[in-house]
Structures are given as C-alpha cells and as structure tokens.
Chain A
Amino acid sequence: MARSIRYREALREAMVEEMERDDRVFLMGEEVGHYQGAYKVTEGMLEKFGARRVIDTPIAESGFAGVGVGAAMVGLRPIIEFMTWNFSAVAFDQILNNATKVRQMSGGQFSCPIVFRGPNGSARQVGSQHSTSMEHFYATIPGVKVVAPAFPADAKGLMKAAIRDENPVCFMESETLYSVKGEVPDGDVVVELGKAHVVRAGTDCTIVAYSRMTHVALEAAAALEKEGISAEVVDLRSLRPLDEDLIADSVRKTHRCVVVHEGWPYGGVGAEVCDRVQRLAFDWLEAPILRISQLDVGMPYNAKLEQMCMPQPARVVDAVKRVVTRGRGKAAS
C-alpha cells in the first residue's frame, strides 16, 4: 500500500515515527514548536511530544548546533533544524570542527549521531543572503553524510536512515519541494544512505541531478523526448557517500553526461561527479561532461535575473543537445 502525501508530511512522518520508537531522538530549532515550523514541517509535533522533546530555540545557530553535538556525544540523537541552511553558516564551526571531527580526534571513542536539517538553496526572490546552496560546502567534509532527496518517499526513507545513522548527516530539503506530492509506501521503509536511483530510463545521455533539480532534469528529459532524444535521469539522493557505481553504469550505457545542480559551478558536487565519471567511464565517454549550475554570481533579487541565474529546463535541454550532437557527429565522420 502507498499513499500520496506531501514532501513536508513525509519528513514529519519520518521524524514522528523515529521519535515514537526511540526516546533518545529529539527535535530542536527555531520556531519548530509553538509556531508549528517556519515552513510547517514540524506541525503538531510539540503537541504530540511535549516541550521536552520538541524544543524551540532562540536565534543561536552556533549555540544549538553545538548543544546538539554535545548531546549526541553522550548518547542522544538530536535532529537540529536550521530554519534555512543559509543560517547554518554561523554554525559552520560546530559542524566542521566538532560534529565531523570528534570521532577521529577521540580515536573512535565518541561518535556524533546527529541530523542537521532544513530547506537549502534558493526559494523565490529571497535575495543574496537567503539563497545559498550549502550542500557543496558540507559535502567536502569527511565525517559527515549529505543527502538531498527530490521526492516524498525518499524524503521519508532517507530521514529515517539519517536519524538511525551513527554519523552526522546534513539533510538538505527545499522550500520549493515542501508541497510536492508523491507516493510514499506504508510501514517502516528506510532508504539506504549513499544510493542513487534512475528516475527515468534513457539511452542517449545521462542527466545527473538531485533535490529540486531532479524535477528540472525530468522536465528537460520530457522536452528532449519530443525531439527524439532519450535522456536518462539519475537522482543522486545522497551526495556523500556518492553512488559512483550507479552513475558510471548509466554513463557507460549512454556515453554522455550532464550534471545539474543549484549553487555555483566552482568545485562542488558537480565537479565531484565529473571527476568520478571521467575516472570510471572515460573510455565510454563520447563528449565532455557538461555542468548546468547557478550562474557564477550571488543570487540577485530581481525576478528575471534570478530565473536567469537558476538552472532551467531549457539550459539543460541545450546542454544535452550539445553533447548528443557532438557524439553523433563524431560517430558519423
């Protein structure tokens, strides 16, 4: 059996179910309780679990992220909500220097089973300081896992896995996905961290995406189909660990690869995918790997410029056509 629910409900179900089965799990963040969540993800949770386990914090990201780390070291399993990941920048030190390092620094004596979660990337016209894609920074750090689901089922399954994981997990959501509906299986369904999946099969080009951009990739693939180009869409789900086997398998089949993500082109997840593909599938590639990302500038407020900066289906279509034509041209000559 499956039900169709929204992304935000899927996240809430996962947190509620995990809190019901494990008293060590608690939720902490700004406006998560009385206000029912800035984006209503945690609606009803304070009423259900009480103020001991659903804890409203003042604006003190570094403080409550650090509180989470300490509590995790001695056996609790915190879920720390950042109202948006932009605000995690002031807590970066707690994640970089404490959460991810305590295990190695202590010679493996301590672990830090904690989930940091919240909406990531841009929303709509929220300006330069509220539109940063933070996953690229976090994914560079050894010791943390980073996930970015695109669909309600994965949101739920990955959240359950993240809460049960012994490592710190950065869980990247998106304000623009919270109302997206999708089938979610009943029961205690956990999605393993580190596994990508093919969300649309195709033969001519692999489009690698995650989170909101998976939907952009699917839109592009539908448009390409009308022009007789068959694109395969790989939804990464996890950014670290990265499912390089699945990505390489897909590229060995299609011989071409386009990567789509929010955030800037310099370094980051897209560059990492390029590195893996050229190492693991070099002999199968018929064209350079192209990346479609946010333009290499801060996010402007103006609506048209913002749209221009963001990866759009049309830009993905163009990139796929470029790599596909190049391959065909070569094969024909």
Chain B
Amino acid sequence: MSQSEAQTEPEMNAAPSPALPLPLPPSALVTSSEMGAVAVPGASVPAKLSQGQLEHLADLYRQMYLIRRLEEEAARAYAQGKIGGFLHLYIGQEAVAVGSIAALRPDDYVVTTYRDHGVALTKGMSAKALMAELFGKATGCSKGLGGSMHLFDKATNMLGGYGIVGGHIPLASGVAFASKYRADGRVTLCYFGEGAVSIGGFHEGVSLAALWKLPIVFICENNEYSMGTPLSRTMSVEDVSLKAIGYGIDRDRFFVEDVLTVEARIGEAVKRARELSLPTLVEVRTYRFRGHSMSDPAKYRTNEELEERKQKDPLFRARLQLAKEGFGEARLKSMDDDVEREVQEAITFADESPEPDASLLESTTYDGPFAA
C-alpha cells in the first residue's frame, strides 16, 4: 500500500492481506534479516563509512552519550536523595532508543515502559525537562507529578513511560489505530522488555494490531533479565520474535552491537508500517549494565558476564569507530564537552527549579470542575 492508498478507510476486521496468505512456514514471515537466528557480531557493520555516514554516526553517538551521562548523574542525584522512588536506568541499552528513533519522522509516536529516559531524550525531550521531572520539580516534563517512570512530552510525541508491565502495549496499538483512522501516515514505536511478553497486554495489543493492520513496530528490548529472572525462566522459547508467527505478522531479531544496524533494521519495520500499514515484532537483544532499579544489587548475574557485555558496549563501539575512521579526536572531545555542559545545565536547572504547587492536583485530575 502506498502513502496515498493509506488515505483510504481503515479495513477493520479485514481478512489477512493476499500478500500474507496463511498458513505459511515461519521463515516465510520473517523479514530480510536472519531467519530466527541472531546476527553474527559485527556482521552488519559497513566496512568504511562515507563522510555523510560518519557525521550521522557522530550525531547518534552524541545522543547515546547524552543518555549515558545524564543517567550517571541521575544515579548520583538519587544517592544524594534528590531523586526518590524508583529509578530504572537505561545504561547499556542506549543504542536501541537512538537507533530506532533515528528511523522515525519527528511526527511519529513513541510509547515505552518505566525505563524511559533514553526514549524520551532521543525523541526530543530536553535534558532539563527530564532531569527536573526526576527531581520532582514544576519545570519537569510532567510538572514533577509523574517522576522517572512517567515521562511524557506531547510536543515530541513521546506518549509516556508506563509502570504496569504490558499495560501500554494495547495503548500503543490504539495510537497506531488513530494514525490509520486519520490516515496521517505516522508510525508508532512501542518498546517493552522481554518480561512483558508473558502478560496479556502484549498478546492482546499485538493481536489487534495484526488483525487491523496497524502502522506500529513492537520493539522487544530483550536485555535477558526481567528483574532478577533470566530469560530461561521467563519464557518457554528463547526466541521472542517467534511470537509474531501466531499473529501472522512480520518479525525480526538481532543483537545490538552497532547503532547504525539498529537504525537500518528498525527502519525496515518502520517502512513496512508507513507504506503498507503492517505491524512488525522486532526482538532486539541488548543488555542493561545497571541493576533493574537503584535498589537492585543484581546478584543474579556474575561480574564476568557483566564485564563481557560491557566489552561490547555499543556506545564505546561507536566512539571507537568514529575515532578509527577519522572523525577526529578534537571534534569528539568537543562533542563530549558539549554533552557534559548540557548535563550539568540540566542538573543545575533541576536543582534550582521550584516545586509544583498543590493547586495542580485537581486540575490534572479532571478537565473542568472537580468531580467530587
């Protein structure tokens, strides 16, 4: 379906499109990528980047580095008691948000979990609004009422971080439904952990998106742990993308090593959503370097495992590649300094901002008079 065809009425409850006659062997439903197998490390990285690609990589690197540094400072602020409640860090997984959102248009939507700092920042939320929200300040994106787990930014189409596992997945399908309904050509990216694949919200959200052919990409950030539970005790199969088969939608699966690969692979699914109004389930294998949240000592994994995964940190890989391909140490350094300044400014801003006023409570509960 072309862009113009997408303008026609949405086909609710339509039979599977002829392009996808069922039943098919699983492999027929897989996209151009590896059939159910995980990509060989490094296999998809182009040998040498053009100058344009190099500049683009530098841009993505900067976004990843901003997330990393901002979260490191958030962890410090948490230890100082400036941030309370739950704080789930994205450190290690930055390439997923950055690579996938690089494949979007600014008017596309994102919906994610409580581990939402990376997605929010990358979609365009300012570091100041983010940090102020973590500090519970009135200048935060949600006026200090939401906190770390509930980042929202209407201006950049960041539709939220959600705390109930799986609860946001049908909601994301609803956002994509609205795009199809209005034929606005937008795509929704819905992120969730592999832990969410066991809960009803995942299955109902994906099932409806499949039935109604909604323009959405379901991105399972499989970081191999659901709190303290390793993948092997979460699911009966190791390959999350297999879940797409029962719903008759396309699937993809790869290891995050390189942010450009993420962009390319998610880009295929985004294209399918935008041009054909078809959903895709993409399993992205990643890893979180910190505990589940600040209170988790992560005793369920070995130091060796953690160190091994840190060796493959996509952020450092991007930096190495930039250095190796001649981006220039000076430019890298100035970019790092820039990020540093942005983070420090965010902290100062959050520190100095006022607390929200109690008068907000009623007006953020109801539109209009309070329905007591």
Hey, which bits of chain A sit against chain B, CB under 8 A?
Answer: 30-31, 34-35, 38, 56, 58-63, 86-87, 89-90, 123-130, 295-298, 300-305, 308-309
B365 nearest CB neighbor, chain A only: A297
Q: Which residues of A contact B84 (CB under 8 A)?
A: 124-125, 301, 303
Residue pair A301, B147 in contact (C-beta under 8 Å) = yes
- What number of B residues sit within 8 Å (CB to CB) of A? 43
B65 to chain A, nearest CB (A): 27
Residue pair A296, B226 in contact (C-beta under 8 Å) = no
In the complex, what distance in Å separates the CA atom of A56 from the CA atom of B229? 9
Hey, which bits of chain B sit against chain A, CB under 8 A?
Answer: 84-86, 136-137, 142, 144-150, 162-167, 195-196, 198-201, 226-229, 233-235, 300, 355-356, 358, 360-362, 364-365, 370, 372
Q: List 17 A-B contacts (CB under 8 A).
A: A34-B228, A35-B228, A38-B227, A56-B233, A58-B233, A59-B198, A59-B226, A61-B199, A90-B201, A124-B84, A125-B84, A125-B136, A126-B86, A128-B146, A128-B163, A130-B85, A301-B150
Partner of A129, one of B162, B226, B233, B234: B162
Q: Which residues of A contact B358 (CB under 8 A)?
A: 305, 308
Summarize B's interface: helix, strand, loop or mixed: loop
B150 nearest CB neighbor, chain A only: A127
Residue pair A300, B356 in contact (C-beta under 8 Å) = yes
Residue pair A58, B150 in contact (C-beta under 8 Å) = no
Q: Which residues of B contact A30 (CB under 8 A)?
A: 227, 229
Q: Which residues of B contact A128 (CB under 8 A)?
A: 145-146, 150, 163
Q: Which residues of A contact B148 (CB under 8 A)?
A: 301
Residue pair A31, B229 in contact (C-beta under 8 Å) = yes
Residue pair B300, A302 in contact (C-beta under 8 Å) = no
Q: Which residues of A contact B228 (CB under 8 A)?
A: 31, 34-35
Residue pair B85, A59 in contact (C-beta under 8 Å) = no
In the complex, what distance in Å separates the CA atom of A63 from the CA atom of B199? 8
In the complex, what distance in Å separates the CA atom of A2 from the CA atom of B19? 73
Residue pair A303, B361 in contact (C-beta under 8 Å) = no
A125-B136, A127-B146, A301-B144 given as contacts; is B166 within 8 A of A295 (CB)? Answer: no
In the complex, what distance in Å separates the CA atom of A169 from the CA atom of B201? 26
Residue pair B198, A58 in contact (C-beta under 8 Å) = yes
Partner of A300, one of B145, B165, B198, B227: B145
In the complex, what distance in Å separates the CA atom of A15 from the CA atom of B218? 40
A58-B198, A297-B361, A305-B356 given as contacts; is B85 within 8 A of A127 (CB)? Answer: yes
